[in-house]
Structure 1
Amino acid sequence: MTTQTKKKTALITGASGGIGLDFARLFAEGGYDVVLVARTESKLQELAQELSAKHGVRALVVASDLSDPAAPARLMERLKVEGVQVDALVNNAGYGAYGAFVETDLDAELKMIQLNISALTALTKAVLPGMLERKSGRILNVASTAAFQPGPLMAVYYATKAYVLSFSEALANETRGTGVTVTCLCPGPTKTGFQQQAKMEESRLVKGKEIMDSLTVARAGYEALHRGQAVVIPGFVNNLLAQSVRFLPRSAVTTIVRKVQERAHA
């Protein structure tokens, strides 16, 4: 009598588009069952049908707005009811807001902090004990090259990503040798809906630039997660720029980032 190997399950937030959508496809292709989390249920259902049909995996849809402080606990309760064990957690959901801090919308920024920091922290706290007990599990947190320096004109967003990087590196150290790994993915500008949502299409950072596609970024994160790599920065130039800030005075770094972030003039 043979026993069937139980599929591992990956929980992916922000799975309805961009990098999160590509993560969902990569994990399903790799044989994982998936839990797909985002706000738009119709997009998630469409993706779930695609992954189930193509790869024969279970795809559970949970429509949830993780900028709601109560959402992470509700999500974990749903997984408990469904009998889902999370073997890989991908904290991908997040957004940014562009503009001088004095002019940007406070409510949008507080929701950004809730999504980019608090929800990520809560979900990590929820799944990590079980992973440590099983001596097996992988966590991937999506930060940004923004994590490596302050970001005038996107002050709150850059600060949230600095938290994600610092938090992830600390957990990678705490979990060393336990069978659980924590990886932080730090992409540069990527072809997703992020720039439009943040209203930064005209900034010098992205206007007229050839930027990386989301599948390339997701694949870099997926492979790094399975290697147990603590930090991954896709792309040679992104890596170089992220590392170079260590050798410049902080005031110079902030000035440079400000110039890059400013809107390009015709």
Structure 2
Amino acid sequence: MNTAAEGWSATATTALITGATAGIGAEFARQLAEQGHSVVLVARDSARLQASAAELENRYGVRAEVITADLTDDVGVAAVVERLSDPARPVEILVNNAGIGLLRSFADNDIAEEKRHLKLHVETAMELAHAALQGMLQRGSGRVINVASVASYLPRGTYSAAKAWLLSFSRWANLAYAGHGVKVTAVCPGLTRTEFHDRMDMDKTVAPAWMWLRAEQVVREGLADNDKGRAVSIPSKRYKVLVAVARVLPYRFVAGPPRRPK
């Protein structure tokens, strides 16, 4: 379902954000709308999508579309690919943000959970980026932001492995397509106060308070780094330092505390 704001211009730049109703995704939608971009919000919860779209339209006067889709499902992915591929309604900014976490270790998880996790973080992100790039390269402009994680630098199970794929892909894609006017950035936040860990039912006291970032800062720095054409964005000085240290220390020292339930 699409909704339209009064005074919307057909020439407005459009950004599509997955996982757009909470946390980092909702903040990307808010900041991009504040900058004047029309938005396409993608998530599973139709009621939350409609409420988010209405709020952005009323507050910023932009057009807000919604796509209700489960991006671990081929039908849901196809709906978003169709929107990204519509030449009459070009999407200039793609934010691959949708993500899930698994609380238990790999051997303790059902393999169906692991396959769903891998599909969302890697296969879906790849498919959406591929669809978006077709139009971007034809137009000679565009921006792709892949929300990875500082976990991509750490040995933290299949979540780290999936985010490491996003990081590596973004580095390559930015190099490959920058000359064609397309900027690709992996945004690698550390621990961020959102619903993400609550949905995992994770005990957040395993990490000290200073390690937790706000979504507003993550998105502000990520958008700025993407605008500058940087392939990687690590929000906050503290995590830039932690990543620099993690890259030189043996893995056994940087694995971090184990996840545990509340």
* Pair in the same fold by TM > 0.5: yes
Match of 1:28 among 19, 27, 33: 33
Counterpart position of 2:167? 165
Within a 5 Å distance, the mapping from 1:207-218 to structure 2 comes to 210-218=211-219
Pair 1:7-2:7 in alignment:
no
When residues 116 and 76 of structure 1 are mapped into structure 2, their CA distance, relative to the original with a 3 A threshold, is same
Q: Which letter maps to 1:20? A: G
Q: Which letter maps to 2:168? A: S
Counterpart position of 1:256? 253
When residues 82 and 39 of structure 1 are mapped into structure 2, their CA distance, relative to the original with a 3 A threshold, is farther
Aligned residues: 254
CA distance in 2, matches of 1:182, 1:39: 25
- Scaled by the length of structure 2, the TM-score of the pair is 0.90
Match of 2:109 among 96, 101, 104: 104
Match of 1:196 among 195, 198, 210: 198
Runs of 4+ in 1 over 3 A off after TM superposition: 78-83, 207-210
Pair 1:247-2:248 in alignment:
yes
Tell me how far 1:79 sits from its aligned partner.
Answer: 5.5
Tell me how far 1:80 sits from its aligned partner.
Answer: 5.5
* Secondary structure, counterpart of 1:113 in structure 2: helix
* Secondary structure, counterpart of 2:180 in structure 1: coil
When residues 104 and 115 of structure 1 are mapped into structure 2, their CA distance, relative to the original with a 3 A threshold, is same
Percent of aligned pairs with the same residue? 40
Match of 2:77 among 50, 69, 72: 72
Q: Is the 8 A contact 1:131 1:137 kept in 2?
A: yes
Structure 2: which 5+ residue stretches go unaligned? 1-8
Counterpart position of 2:5? none
What does the per-residue CA deviation read over 1:24-76, in whole Å, with 9 as the maximum and x for residues that have no partner? 01111111010000001111111111111111111001010001133222223
* Secondary structure, counterpart of 2:67 in structure 1: strand
Tell me how far 1:263 sits from its aligned partner.
Answer: 4.6
When residues 30 and 262 of structure 1 are mapped into structure 2, their CA distance, relative to the original with a 3 A threshold, is closer
When residues 125 and 27 of structure 1 are mapped into structure 2, their CA distance, relative to the original with a 3 A threshold, is same
Q: Which letter maps to 1:40? A: D
Q: Is the 8 A contact 1:97 1:197 kept in 2?
A: no
CA distance in 2, matches of 1:82, 1:34: 16
Within a 5 Å distance, the mapping from 1:40-79 to structure 2 comes to 40-78=45-83
- Scaled by the length of structure 1, the TM-score of the pair is 0.89
When residues 241 and 207 of structure 1 are mapped into structure 2, their CA distance, relative to the original with a 3 A threshold, is closer
What does the per-residue CA deviation read over 1:206-255, in whole Å, with 9 as the maximum and x for residues that have no partner? 3655511111111111222222211110111211111222222xxx31x2
* Secondary structure, counterpart of 2:106 in structure 1: coil
CA distance in 2, matches of 1:231, 1:122: 20
CA distance in 2, matches of 1:82, 1:136: 14
CA distance in 2, matches of 1:226, 1:7: 18
Root-mean-square deviation over aligned CA pairs: 2.1
Within a 5 Å distance, the mapping from 1:140-155 to structure 2 comes to 140-151=145-156, 155=157
What does the per-residue CA deviation read over 1:151-209, in whole Å, with 9 as the maximum and x for residues that have no partner? 1xxx11111000000011010110122111101100000001111223332563x3655
